[in-house]
Chains A and B, each alone.
Chain A
Amino acid sequence: MRQAGRALTLAAGIAAMALTAGAAAAAGNLAARNPAASDLAPSDPITSDPVTGDPAAGEKVFKECRSCHQVGAGARNGIGPHLDKLFGRQAGSLEGFAYSLSLRRKGSQGLVWNEETLDIYLSKPQAYVPGTRMSFRGMPDEQARHDLIAYLREASAEAPAEDPTAPPSPRDEIGAIAMSIEGDPDFGEYLSNECVTCHQPSGRADGIPSIVGWPKVDFVRALFEYKTNVRSHEVMRMVTRNLGNDEIAALAAYFGSLSPQ
């Protein structure tokens, strides 16, 4: 299981992370409210044998998502957009979040998030929206998808933070020094030469995660987690071994300044 989890996160580029403060609070609120599931059961237009989602099971599935996505009361944008008021939202439409051009295009062509569209998207994001920045290979397990969607249906009923684009304040943790440094984006651009052999500066994720437009906190934390092997990935561990605080801050500044195409 540990291995399988690791493999998945390798592709997704998101190793198991500590809960962000917002998501932790959201999860607590949810447990307290627990609205009637019957109102929220998703219909299944795709198969003739409808699968009903279990929100409690879906909350566990969401663990794979929450290093990038927040949902529930006070959710904010992180590596991915917050998921409050998701159902009925036009794809790629949140202000202040740097979506890929492909997702914005899909949205302007009429893609709206609901049970059906999420079900197709989550099964293989890159197939449904080629060029999406979401570094997630997909969830082939139909039951897991339905559980997740049922959970999102509940959790996303909350209102997001007043300013969902405000960066989360850095906490006292690994990488605190790098987070406090104002990174030099020009130095970061030079250092990025090493990254862009695999990570595309356009923001495309074709099997290697997109790293453009991330909040500084997430970027710095991710690199330190590779450095300290909290996230296991040999290439990233090797790359980060030679990066100090100034380098990491510079890379965060440079990649944070890029807009996905």
Chain B
Amino acid sequence: MTKMTRRTFGLLSGAATFSLALPTYLRAQDRPKVVVIGGGAGGATAARYIAKDSEGAVDVTLIEANPQYTTCFFSNLYLGGFRSFQSITHSYDVLASNFGISVVTGMADAIDREAREVVMADGSRVPYDRLVVSPGIDLIWDSVPGYSEEAAEIMPHSWKAGPQTRLLKEKLDAIENGQQIVMVAPPNPYRCPPGPYERVSMFAHILSSKGYTDAKIVVLDPKSKFSKQALFQEGWEKHYPGMVEWYGPDVHGGIKGVDPSTGSVETDFDTFKGDLVNVIPAQKAGEIAQKAGLANDTGFCPIDPESMRSTMDENIFVLGDACIAGDMPKSAFSANSQAKVAAMNVRGDLTESKVFPARYANTCWSLIATDDGVKVGAQYAPTEEKIASTTSFISQTGEDSALRKATYEESLGWYAGITSDIFGRQG
């Protein structure tokens, strides 16, 4: 693989400028244009793979609202003090310099599907031949009555990494012995199924490492069961005995709403007061996908399981948390895996490169306590109606500490691997 350097890219764009002076009929060699909306695990991977594998034959533009990207995955480890904020924040510089991707920092406001143009918030338009939409999730604020964007400054959700993550960390670090944390967990489907429970583990780790034996964490869950439940509950009892109380709907009877002014969560059963309340509301595909009519009544975007192509528009591919990926969970690993299938199909459309049958995979690691890592994973294949799981595994309860430590260390390796796969190898 020849990497496109800044210099060769400059030469190419120089050639493009030159071609503008030529008669229209000579401009047929203009490169096909791919625009990617969203620079996360799905979008940045897709952009990089299309640019890398087409070796400059495709013009790739990546539109992302933030100049740097803080990963949601591993943000719990920042809360638990296992990672610095800097270590989970990545730049787009390598995608621009080594892969010739035009990185546009800005907000895509709408998609003009007829004209095949992305309309930016500033009114400018970015034309495309193929569009990859990977906007992640938006929060459904009113799924928890009383909750709102403003309320999130008091009761952080921190389900999109960035300032919200720092806010939650500040509030977590300010908790004192005898105080209580309340988490309102999200209903299915949501980003990162084990995420809320890994976060509870990190809360407990911080409190117990300070010796706060009288601090409590209450989880109010709209679901009657959750991802890796046996593993988390075993771990909580082992590492943080008596600290975590998890209540499903058969106990609390339903979450009625939150009151940010009093820091309370009302349920059918009782009102819970938290010195820190972490509300993770219900979720839907990012706003732009809704506006463009790419989502259905589930709030997420249906796709063709063979290719990740939107069933609403053949020029558009939808990836990651925003799409309906059948049995695949909403995770960075899934998005990265889907992005490679989409990238291959985009290139197939535009450069007639070979398209192989789709292969998908996912593994999610979670940290319960220091050196106590667990994982769950599966492989997937497209069927007529969905992306279906073909084989899967999960860590077992009662595993010894050496295996758990190795699993945690493996997750560090995975983070290093996937972030360089998404953003290009830094340094």
A contact residues vs B (CB 8 Å cutoff): 3-4, 6-8, 10-11, 137, 187, 190-191, 193-194, 196-200, 202, 204-208, 234-235, 237-239, 241-242, 261
Contacts and interface: CB of A to CB of B under 8 A. Distances in A.
B337 A197 contact: yes
Interface in B83-133: none
Contacts of B377: 234-235, 238
7 contacts: A7-B405, A11-B409, A187-B356, A197-B361, A202-B420, A207-B409, A238-B361
A242 B412 contact: no
B52 to A, nearest CB: 10
Contacts of B395: 234
Given A196-B421, A207-B410, A239-B361, A4 B378 contact: no
Contacts of B400: 3-4, 7
Contacts, number: 100
Q: Which of B361, B390, B420 has the most CB of A within 10 A?
A: B361
Q: Which 9 residue pairs spanning A and B have beta carbons closest together?
A: A207-B413, A208-B413, A7-B402, A206-B416, A10-B406, A234-B393, A7-B406, A207-B412, A193-B340
B163 interface: no
Nearest to B49: A193
Given A206-B417, A234-B395, 13 more contacts: A7-B400, A11-B409, A11-B410, A193-B340, A194-B340, A197-B333, A197-B337, A198-B363, A200-B416, A200-B425, A206-B413, A207-B413, A241-B391
A191, A197, A206 pick with most chain B CB within 10 angstroms: A197
Given A206-B413, A241-B391, A242-B390, A235 B375 contact: yes
Contact of B417 (A3, A196, A234): A196
Interface in B383-427: 390-393, 395, 400, 402-403, 405-407, 409-414, 416-418, 420-421, 425
Nearest to B343: A193
Interface residues on B, range: 35 or more
B354 to A, nearest CB: 8
Contacts of B406: 7-8, 10-11
Nearest to B400: A3
Contacts of A10: 403, 406-407, 410
B392 A3 contact: no
A6 B413 CA distance: 17
Contacts of A261: 425
Given A196-B417, A242-B391, A208 B379 contact: no
Nearest to B414: A198
B76 interface: no
Nearest to A6: B403
B313 to A, nearest CB: 25
Contact of B416 (A8, A11, A207, A242): A207
A6 B393 CA distance: 17
A190 B353 CA distance: 12
A7 B416 CA distance: 20
B166 interface: no
B403 A238 contact: no
Nearest to A234: B393
B418 A197 contact: yes
B171 interface: no
A137 B402 CA distance: 13
Given A235-B363, A242-B359, A242-B391, A198 B413 contact: yes
A206 B412 contact: yes
A238 B378 contact: yes
Contacts of B333: 197
A223 B343 CA distance: 27
A238 B379 contact: yes
Contacts of A196: 417, 421
A11 B409 CA distance: 7
B379 A207 contact: no
A238 B337 contact: no
